[in-house]
Chain A
Amino acid sequence: MEKLEMIQQEGLSKIHACANASELQQLRVLYLGKKGPVQEVMKTMKDLPAEERPAFGQQVNAVKSLLAEAIEKKRAELEQKEMLEKMEEEKIDITLSGYRPSLGTLHPLTVVQQEIEDLFIGLGYTIAEGPEVELDLYNFERANIPQDHPARDMQDTFYINAEELLRTHTTAIQTRQLEAYAPKLPVKVICPGKVYRRDDDDATHSHQFTQIEGLVVGEHITMSDLKGTLEFMAKKMFGEAREIRFRPSYFQFTEPSVEVDVSCHICNGKGCSVCKGTGWIEILGSGMVHPNVLKMAGYDPEKCSGFAFGVGIERVAMLKYGIDDIRHFYTNDIRFLKTFTRFE
């Protein structure tokens, strides 16, 4: 009995002192295998009287399972320690830079164009496009700008021949759309596209630029509908606090015609360098579709009315992002393009 107790004590202290997995394995073989000291004691059981044997057996088994338990505990302990040591060896310098997959960017003109498109798609508009090499007919005549009209001076045109030109405004898309739809109602389209005018390129002028126009024709479309629609757009694009203001103006294809100012998004209308101290930024041209334009397209102006508006995408992008030179849009300096990596 004393022997068993000794074995137990000796075993436990050996297990406790064990420093690595292989030593522990030796101890396991020694104490739990077929030839160890515990087995030796077990062998002495046959010399005992029969009535003592069960109690003795139980004691030996208790010692055995005690040791097995201690070994298992030690094993888990060692494994844990080993894992910790291994991980410590695996320590890295987390300040080294990560592998950053480089993301491309949409051109800022695309960003603004898509933003406006999506806004109006949400209102049930479709997107219409048309040829950049356009007929005088659709660019001018159908827009109520006849030959020799002084308004043609407003837009110096790149002519290709007497009939063809590079469109000077996306109104050409509108006149085509009207012709294609007439006499169906309603018409609800957004017309984006590149346009061209004879301007020398400098910080604020570009012979090529991008417009986006909207056109709605229906049975009872009013000028206040135009105001509501543009207010919606201004708020979505420049913030909910924006207000708009109409100023009378003149375009051949609309009557009445207005220029639309949006309260300055930089200074909230207090006056700053962006709005030149006025609190307002001119952003859009718009108006009620001229009865002649409706008529030429095949609509009866007595039975329907409509509004149209147009905005220069470069101008919006310049205002939104604080871009100071329109030529940046067409130079494609990668440092410029990378400005637009961020979500807004």
Chain B
Amino acid sequence: MNISKKWLSQYMDIEDLTIEEIADRITAAGSEVEGIFRMSEGSHLVIGEVLSCEAHPDSDHLHICQVNVGSTVEQIVCGAPNVASGQKVIVARVGARLPGGEIKASVIRSQPSNGMICSLVELGVDPHSLSEESKNGIEVLDEDAPVGCEDPLGYLGLDDAVMDVGLTPNRNDCMAAWAMAKEAGAVLNRKVTLPSCDEAADTGVKGRLKVASTTDKCPLFLGKVINSVTIKESPRWMRKLLHAAGMKSINNVVDISNIVMLETGQPLHFYDIDALPAQEITVKDHMTEVYTALDGVDYQLEKDDLVITSEGKPIGIAGIMGGNDSKIEDTTRGIIIEAAVFHHVSIRNTARRLNLGTDASIRYQKGIEPLATFKAMDRAVQLLIEYADAKDMEETVQYGTNNYEPVSFTIDLTNINTLLGTDFEEGEVMDVLQRLDLQPVKKGEAIQVVIPSYRTDLMMEADIAEEIIRIIGYDRLPSTMPTMPATVGALDPRQQLRRKLRTTLTALGYHEAETYTLVSERLIHDGVMPLDDAISLASPMSEDRRFVRSSILPSLLESAAYNQARSIKDLALFEISNVYGKSAVEERLAVVMNGDIQKSRWQKLALTADFYTVKGLVESLFAHLGYDKKRILFKENTLDTVHFHPYQSAVVYLGKDVLGIIGKIHPQMAKEYSVTKETVMAELRLDVVLKNKAAKVKFKPLSKYPAITRDLAFVVEENVQVQQIADSIERHGKLDKEHIITDVEVFDVYTGEHVEKGKKSIALSITFQSAQRTLKDDEINEVHQVILSALEKDVHAVLRG
């Protein structure tokens, strides 16, 4: 909403306030002034008369002018093409400060020049509001302009400043200058007097005009015939106001429709009476045809668009733009006024589809106050009579109603003070309500308020509480802490799990990432353990962001690729996020790593990411979370061998539940996602973790007896898994019913030169310890022997020397 100081000054006395002061106070009361624009700028200006104008002897375009500036005559060299003797012009004297800089006395091609004859553009006037003439040359003033006047900008009405007021959606009433004036008056505590035009439209004889609507999207339509108007230039005040509102002056009648819209917020449309096929106007929808509007563009109408018709033919797109045929021109003799209400959603949809954000459509979309239609008709008639010689008027015809019931309710100051935590006194509150025009009246303990028609946002006590505090000022609000029974703040198990994972992973060198939830079809297709059908947006902004992801890994791989493309080889990323399917949601942890997780090059230390790194990470994480290694099982990956390397990946189980998949990326996937083939990754389902109880920390007495370690090496078939061997050893680790094996650790796996092809050599150490006594050598030998023969039997192990 743009409103100038002069516009506001029509309704209240604010001469003592600067535009900045006004803006600050309006902002502090809730409607943020987002900018202040001066319509023009310049000091040391004067109206002068060009006494003579001769061509400069050394130039083909400069002129040497003698200019009477009141007290003196100055020589000024001027380059404007339109300068001529006898003109009244704006002169910037030596010392003047203009937007482009300071004017100094100078010599231009050996001719002294003391000042500058100005164009409006040089004085900072927005070129968009100027005619071609004014844009391209010096401004030529009217014949009667007072020479020597030192306020030429004031003379032109350009000594104004415009505030750009950002309105919150509840205050769209302030799109109307009259409502904005009421708001400013309340905020500034000034008495506001609006033009009086009540019942101005209640004149005219009975006529032929019929108005109607065949759709409920037009609840109210007023029409009025004025058979005689005079088209001419608008009076200066009207032109100045339009200019300040950023609109161009066309002619008096068109300008009146715009001025009234700016004042009341109600868009009006004037039709040339002779251009309509009949004195019949009907609002319709379901008109699917091509229509040429005022701007000369052809628009394809659709069935939901509201169309103004006469004799079944469209004469305008309702609330958005009129037609070319019936527009007001110099030849117009009489007019029909339309003041109507159209449903905001319908206007919004049509305006959006046709990409027509007009002054009218914007106002309809934001909603028009219930009485605006009548106010606007009154005001238009009043101005047309005064400035367009409106005569031969017919009575206003009306279709529908505005359904307006005045709103009034009572408020309780105690409640309001309780809600705010304040102790405002009645006198002060009554004064604020008065300023807001809420007509407060004491009713016993309560206060009755009557809500002005344009304040449709005020419906209950809480709304009035806000009015009071925003006008009094939030600096008067105390600062306290809530008083209530004590509550316990805590994280729930899911939140705790997340934090534990984050703490552990970051401690181990992994960086937390965050990627977008919305992904492309390709990423959906590449999901790991996808939930059921992916959720797709009804109207996505782009194909890249069409689906709600059902797996994290593809997104995380994109982040890995981003880094690898920047030559960052060592990467360890994780992300915790929800993933979605049409009927399911899961929280997951994904990990992607590549290169060295830890290293010190000169020491030749490196932890290079491979299958065992991610496996170890999972083992370590879950041990830390309280899940014994016996509960975390790694099994052959039969779930997903498309994205994972089929022989270097595993499905992880927590007990019986599938926890996730870990392993090296499939080379094809690596290629498609531009990451190295060495990339390893994991995606784990956290809901499975939450479902399975973690073990509590429990101290087990430390054994007082020594532990004894025995190494052994043997050869087995290459396809024998270490787990089978370890299981076999563990099963046979009993001595007198006590399980005495505390650890089995593989320390070498070898295939090659010294081992028969198809076989591998494994070296491991077994640690024996009893909780009851010191084990004797021959006892251990006995168990060891049992283990050896078990290995021979179970995995056909052949002992190496």
Contacts and interface: CB of A to CB of B under 8 A. Distances in A.
Contacts of B421: 222-225
A334 B474 contact: no
Contacts of A330: 514-516
Nearest to B605: A99
B502 A106 contact: yes
A246 B484 CA distance: 24
B27 interface: yes
A305 interface: yes
Contacts of A153: 169, 348
Interface residues of B, number: 91
B520 to A, nearest CB: 14
Nearest to B461: A291
Contacts of A332: 511, 513-515, 559, 562-563, 573
A298 interface: no
Interface in B508-547: 508-518, 535-541, 545
Contact of A227 (B28, B477, B598): B477
Contacts of B499: 114
Nearest to A128: B492
Contacts of A109: 514
Main secondary structure of the interface of B (DSSP, over half): mixed
A35 interface: no
A114 B501 CA distance: 14
Given A225-B482, A256-B469, A250 B168 contact: yes
Contacts of B508: 104
A132 B488 contact: no
A174 interface: no
B538 A160 contact: yes
Interface in A218-251: 218-225, 227-229, 231-232, 245-250
Nearest to B508: A104
B690 to A, nearest CB: 13
A223 B424 CA distance: 14
A159 to B, nearest CB: 5
Interface stretch (A63-71, A193-201, A269-277): A193-201
Nearest to A148: B345
A125 B481 contact: no
A208 B537 CA distance: 14
A7 interface: no
A248 B474 contact: yes
Interface string B362-376: 000111000000000
Interface stretch (B446-454, B564-572, B744-752, B791-799): B564-572
A99 B600 contact: yes
Contacts of B512: 104-107, 110, 337
A216 B602 CA distance: 57
A102 interface: yes
Size category, A interface: 35 or more
Interface string A144-157: 00001111011000
Interface string A298-338: 00000001000000000000000000000001111111011
A124 B481 contact: no
B169 A250 contact: yes
Interface in B430-487: 460, 462-463, 465-466, 469-470, 474-475, 477-487
A102 B495 contact: no
B419 to A, nearest CB: 6
Contacts of B755: none
A248 B28 CA distance: 7
Given A208-B517, A249-B168, A131 B585 contact: yes
Contacts of B170: 250
A245 B491 contact: no
B584 to A, nearest CB: 10
Interface stretch (A37-45, A53-61, A115-123): A115-123
A105 B539 CA distance: 36
B596 to A, nearest CB: 9
Interface string B573-611: 110001010000100000000000110101101000000
B510 A229 contact: no
Nearest to A200: B541
Contacts of B478: 224, 227
Interface in A89-107: 96-107
B172 interface: yes
Given A222-B418, A246-B477, A335-B568, A255 B605 contact: no
A257 interface: yes
Nearest to A231: B479
Given A102-B597, A255-B463, A337-B513, A247 B506 contact: no
Contacts of A227: 477-480
A266 interface: no
A250 B538 contact: no
B419 A132 contact: no
A103 B573 CA distance: 12
Interface in B150-173: 168-172
Contacts of B573: 332, 334
A334 B593 CA distance: 12
B95 interface: no
Given A132-B580, A250-B168, A330-B516, A224 B477 contact: yes
A258 interface: yes
A218 B487 CA distance: 12
B561 to A, nearest CB: 11
A98 B573 CA distance: 24
A220 B418 CA distance: 7
Nearest to A151: B169
Contacts of B30: 247-250
A332 B555 CA distance: 11
A247 B27 contact: yes
A96 B602 CA distance: 9
Interface string B336-351: 0000000011001000
Given A102-B509, A159-B538, A247 B490 contact: no
B113 to A, nearest CB: 39
A178 interface: no
B276 interface: no
Contacts of B296: none
A189 B479 CA distance: 20
Give the interface centre of B32, B168, B366, B573 by most chain A CB atoms within 10 Å. Answer: B168
A225 B489 contact: no
A228 B480 contact: yes
A101 B509 CA distance: 8
Contacts of B566: 333
B511 A338 contact: yes
Contacts of B469: 223, 248, 256
B578 A132 contact: yes
B422 interface: yes
A296 B514 CA distance: 35
A207 B541 contact: yes
Nearest to A110: B512
B484 A208 contact: no
B393 to A, nearest CB: 36
A188 B509 CA distance: 36
Interface in B108-143: none
Given A126-B490, A334-B571, 5 more contacts: A105-B511, A120-B489, A255-B465, A256-B466, A332-B513
9 contacts: A97-B602, A103-B509, A104-B507, A105-B511, A122-B489, A133-B548, A153-B348, A250-B171, A335-B568
Pairs A-B, 8 closest by C-beta atoms: A222-B421, A224-B421, A256-B466, A248-B30, A250-B168, A246-B474, A104-B506, A121-B489
Interface of B: 27-30, 32, 168-172, 344-345, 348, 365-367, 418-422, 460, 462-463, 465-466, 469-470, 474-475, 477-492, 494-495, 499, 502, 505-518, 535-541, 545, 548, 559, 562-563, 566, 568, 571-574, 578, 580, 585, 597-598, 600, 602-603, 605
